[in-house]
Amino acid sequence: MANPVVDTRLSKRFDKWDFDRNGLLEREDFEQEAARIARSFGKPSDAPEVAALRDAFHALFDYLAAATEGSASSLSREEFEKAAGDLIYNQGEAAFNRALGPVVSGLVGLCDKNDDGQINGEEFQSWLTALGLDTTSAKDAFQQVDTNGDGELSQEELLAAIRQYHFGQLDVELLG
Ligand SMILES: [Ca+2]
Ligand SMILES: [Ca+2]
Ligand SMILES: [Ca+2]
């Protein structure tokens, strides 16, 4: 399954999530990432949407840690790439959606200003900004993720785009 684009993307994801740059992914790193995203949306740390995103990142960490044979409290780069790679390439879409769904739903919760459960063009701009992503091609990125073309990004479309990104089938970054 190995392919250079795909490996680079997982490795980049590791660097991004290793918040304290100690070469290991820990629960604390995932918590910091959730807090950083919440801050960039200007949400207080005790807001329910922030708690939901933090819980989702915790659950994702626990999932990945449980999938490795070594220590359950941290993941080396190799362990992360193996566990995340297995989830993405071997376990199928349903397992991927179970693991990443809460994170996507937490992000939608923070971003969804008009509270309709979907992300429109304006909300998508704030998503990209909060995740530290390039907004210059936001319009093009939006259209690629909006596969049914209804002008809204559903959670299903966002999840599918994240999975395709890691398969190297789509060049839209959604998680930073
Ligand atoms: Ca770390
Ligand atoms: Ca919305
Ligand atoms: Ca859509």
Across 159-163, average pLDDT: 95
Please, is 109 exposed, middle or buried when counting C-beta atoms within 10 Å of its C-beta (0-12, 13-18, 19+)?
buried
* 49: Cβ contacts below 8 Å, ≥ 6 apart: 38, 43, 106, 109, 110
Residue 118 lies in a domain: yes
- What CATH number corresponds to the domain at position 12? 1.10.238.10
Its sign, for the CA torsion 123, 129, 135, 141, is negative
The CA 150 to ligand 3 mean position distance, Å, reads 5
pTM value is 0.91
For residue 148, report the distance from its CA to the centre of ligand 3, in Å: 5
174 within a domain of the structure (yes/no): no
Residue range 97-153, pLDDT digits in tens: 999 999 999 999 999 999 999 999 999 999 999 888 889 999 999 999 999 999 999
Contacts of residue 5, defined as CB under 8 A and 6 or more positions apart, other chains included, come to: 168
Query: Which residues span the domain enclosing 80?
Result: 4-167
| Measured distance CA(140)–CA(146) in Å, rounded | 10
* pLDDT, average across residues 84-90: 92
Residue 15: pLDDT band (50, 70, 90) is: very high
Number of domains in the chain: 1
Query: Could you give the CA distance from residue 60 to residue 98 in angstroms, rounded to a whole number?
Result: 9
Report yes or no on 172 lying in a domain.
Answer: no
Cα of 9 to ligand 1 centre, how many Å? 18
Distance (Å) from CA 118 to ligand 2 centroid: 4
Q: How many CB atoms lie within 10 A of CB 128?
A: 21
Which residues lie across from 153 on neighbouring strands? 119
In the structure, ligand 1 is a single-atom ion and the residues with CB under 5 Å from it are 18, 20, 22, 24, 26, 29
